[in-house]
Structure 1
């Protein structure tokens, strides 16, 4: 009986460590996605920046003009608002929180700052991400 209890305890510990390691890996993958977006933005490459978003008509972006549905529409709006590298400026993020809600859903809270030559834009964002086919993608972005 003692052997069975020890085995159960060992297996429980191993499972717990595995779950914790996966959470750390997922959080890092999300941070890597955001860093890749920031890097591509700063190169002036909006299309590459958009690769962090779910390429689907159900993607939801909420900004100062209201709600926008769809990856292509979101890309078009970014291109309209930031038509060139000078308008895009230099982007930085301040990540405040990354919470794994489930094994394939996450929430991110952060701040954004765009320094242009003569202007500075800044605000906050909340993101809902889904792990789709093993890859984290932004499915909802509320930026103010």
Structure 2
């Protein structure tokens, strides 16, 4: 890993902790570049369709899912297995993002209804692979204690 990537991870950690500690503040959904929005839109579409295989295709070959209360999962095949049978209504909102030439992140929230309060939050770390933004890591947790 290069120095730029480590700096990026430190920045991502700062942004994520900011969102978690910003309870009851004015965190608003923002518009993000279309190529990053497409990742969110495709994620929503495949999750709603209970399509674990298509969802796993949004990830890099060595991608991660990091879910609360569960072991980390790495690799497209294991991600597809982990997501098998999962899905349902999903609406993703972006709160913040940053992007460089080949690495990006999105910090946001998710909910099960089109309108309303987010039920949880997420961070996506993205890598550009052959000109396409892919998810390297997906970390989420709910707002309930």
Are the counterparts in 2 of residues 107 and 129 from structure 1 also a CA contact under 8 Å? Answer: yes
Matched, 1:78 2:115: no
Partner of 1:60: 64
Shift of 1:140: 1.1
| 2:107 counterpart SS class | strand
Q: Which whole-Å CA distance do the structure 2 matches of 1:77 and 1:60 have between them?
A: 11
Aligned residues of 1:127 and 1:142 also touching (Cα < 8 A):
yes
TM-score, normalization by structure 2? 0.64
Q: Does 1:98 align with 2:97?
A: yes
Higher helix share: 1
Q: In the alignment, is the contact (CA less than 8 A) between 2:57 and 2:76 conserved in 1?
A: no
Q: Runs of 5+ in structure 2 lacking a partner?
A: 1-31
Structure-1-length-normalised TM-score: 0.65
Q: Which residue of 2 aligns with 1:39?
A: 45
Alpha-carbon shift at residue 103 of structure 1 (Å):
0.7
Runs of 4+ off more than 4 Å: none
1:118-137: CA deviation from partner (whole Å, max 9, x where unpaired)? xxx93211111011110000
Verify the 8 A CA contact 1:37 1:50 in the aligned structure 2. no
Q: Does the aligned pair in 1 maintain the 2:55–2:80 contact within 8 Å?
A: no
Greater CA radius of gyration, 1 or 2?
Answer: 1
CA distance in structure 2 between the aligned counterparts of 1:40 and 1:68, rounded to whole angstroms: 18
| CA distance in structure 2 between the partners assigned to 1:37 and 1:46 by the alignment | 10
